[in-house]
């Protein structure tokens, strides 16, 4: 972490838990892409780096990872961050996710009391079984801190806002900024679809699962649904799983797939740096998560005219669009039946037509950028 000399006008410090490849990181990247044109920007990851760190550095953004992975390192990270905030004297501090909201927010309020502080909450409220004891506790502790640390709290969905305000987050500070398919930076690509599918996937109907390896995502349900689907329709279907931790090194996932009896039908891709190729090459996205804040995968599927099946995921109740099928229950038989129906429709030609119409539409500004464009104006 560099030690800037003197105050800088129009300076923004962004603090985030980690810089992996999730939805919060992607929103952070789009926001920083806008900020760096008009502000002096520093990005700090409390934990580790990853694909998002690499993308930010490629944009010319200064990034620091504090590696706060243990008690001693956490203490050292807090001291380093406090010193940096004092030297950098940011006008604005923007934090993403609970740990960054807590540590980044408290240190900013202490070391740069005049700075405007924005918390960004990018998930629904989860139970301790879904997110772990520490995250569960941090979410509740931040409810108390919301009274005096942040100036504004930016939620990713109406559900996330109502859930957090119900446990004490300051209502007067809340704003809701949802993702949107119109702001996705890519559309359907016939060229990338052909390139991905030639050879092994030629002629197959591909079901896609996108998400990090996490209990809330319920990839086990997806695997079971795929097994049951294959028993009904036989050959001609394949199942692609992508996301952080969704790779061949994940023994637990490998074992789950092996137990399905159709291991050869699955493809584990891990993190994919070009999401356009995933959505263009696939024929249907399946979402089995228990809860989603503002699911990037659904919006990206909509932007590429990819049919979507959502298994009654909390936080997706308001999502609607052409070929967006949200089930009323989390019954796996209902999910399999809908998958069978989608296979039967064979929408490839119609999808290409819809995609060609979308190509003529201008890509909109990311909603979070629009919010901060206004929020950071003087006065």
Q: Which residue has the higher pLDDT, 272 or 359?
A: 272
Query: Which pLDDT value is given to residue 69?
Result: 85
> Would you say residue 143 has pLDDT above 70?
yes
Q: Find the mean pLDDT for residues 292-319.
A: 94
Third-level CATH fold of 11-180+366-375: Rossmann fold (3.40.50)
Handedness of CA 320, 216, 245, 254 (dihedral sign): negative
Band of pLDDT at residue 7, cut at 50, 70 and 90? very low
**Res 44 pLDDT > 60:** yes
pLDDT beyond 50 at 152: yes
pLDDT of amino acid 96: 97
Superfamily of domain 184-359: Glycogen Phosphorylase B; (3.40.50.2000)
pLDDT in tens, 50-98: 999 999 999 999 999 999 888 889 899 999 999 999 999 999 999 999 9
Residue 161: pLDDT above 80? Answer: yes
Strand-pairing partners, residue 325, are 309
The segment(s) of the chain belonging to CATH 3.40.50.2000 are 11-180+366-375, 184-359
pLDDT(212) > 90 = yes
Confidence of residue 8 (pLDDT cuts 50, 70, 90): very low
Predicted pLDDT at 1: 58
Identify the band that residue 113 occupies on the pLDDT scale cut at 50, 70 and 90. very high
Contact 240, 207 (CB under 8 A): yes
Query: Sheet harboring 284-287: ordered strands across?
Result: 266-270, 237-242, 205-210, 284-287, 308-310, 324-326
CA distance 26 to 52: 7
Does the pLDDT at position 286 exceed 60?
yes
313-368 tens-digit pLDDT? 999 999 998 889 999 999 999 999 999 999 988 655 556 556 655 555 678 999 99
Specify the higher pLDDT residue, 63 or 6: 63
**Mean pLDDT of all residues in 242-266:** 97
Residues 6+ away with beta carbon under 8 Å from 89: 7, 8, 11, 112, 115
Contact 93, 103 (CB under 8 A): no
Q: What is the pLDDT of residue 361?
A: 66
pLDDT band at residue 234 under the 50/70/90 scheme: confident
Range with lowest mean pLDDT among 96-105, 127-136, 335-344: 127-136
Q: Supply the pLDDT for residue 5.
A: 38
**Overall average pLDDT of the 206-211 stretch:** 97
């Amino acid at each position: 972490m560099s030690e800037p000399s003197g105050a800088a006008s129009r300076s923004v410090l962004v603090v985030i838990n980690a810089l992996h490849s999730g939805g919060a990181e992607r929103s952070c990247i789009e926001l920083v892409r806008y900020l760096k044109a008009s502000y002096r920007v520093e990005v700090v990851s409390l934990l580790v780096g990853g694909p998002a760190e690499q993308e930010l550095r490629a944009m010319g953004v200064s990034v620091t990872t504090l590696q706060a992975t243990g008690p001693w390192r956490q203490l050292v990270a807090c001291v380093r961050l406090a010193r940096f905030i004092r030297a950098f004297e940011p006008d604005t501090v923007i934090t993403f996710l609970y740990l960054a909201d807590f540590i980044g927010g408290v240190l900013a309020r202490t070391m740069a009391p005049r700075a405007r502080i924005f918390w960004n909450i990018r998930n629904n409220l989860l139970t301790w079984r879904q997110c772990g004891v520490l995250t569960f506790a941090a979410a509740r502790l931040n409810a108390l801190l919301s009274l005096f640390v942040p100036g504004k709290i930016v939620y990713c969905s109406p559900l996330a806002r109502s859930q957090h305000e119900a446990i004490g987050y300051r209502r007067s500070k809340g704003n809701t900024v949802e993702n949107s398919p119109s702001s996705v930076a890519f559309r359907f690509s016939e060229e990338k679809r052909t390139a991905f599918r030639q050879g092994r996937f030629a002629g197959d109907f591909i079901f896609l699962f996108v998400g990090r390896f996490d209990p809330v995502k319920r990839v086990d349900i997806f695997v079971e649904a795929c097994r049951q689907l294959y028993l009904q329709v036989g050959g001609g279907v394949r199942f692609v799983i992508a996301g952080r931790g969704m790779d061949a090194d994940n023994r637990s996932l490998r074992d789950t797939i092996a137990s399905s009896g159709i291991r050869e039908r699955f493809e584990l891709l891990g993190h994919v740096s070009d999401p356009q190729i995933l959505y263009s090459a696939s024929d249907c996205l399946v979402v089995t998560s228990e809860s989603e804040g503002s699911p990037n995968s659904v919006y990206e599927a909509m932007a590429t005219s990819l049919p979507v099946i959502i298994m009654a995921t909390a936080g997706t109740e308001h999502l609607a669009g052409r070929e967006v099928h949200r089930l009323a229950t989390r019954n796996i038989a209902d999910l399999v039946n809908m998958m069978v129906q989608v296979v039967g429709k064979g929408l490839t030609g119609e999808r290409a037509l819809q995609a060609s119409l979308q190509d003529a539409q201008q890509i909109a500004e990311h909603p979070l950028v629009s919010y901060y464009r206004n929020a950071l104006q003087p006065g």
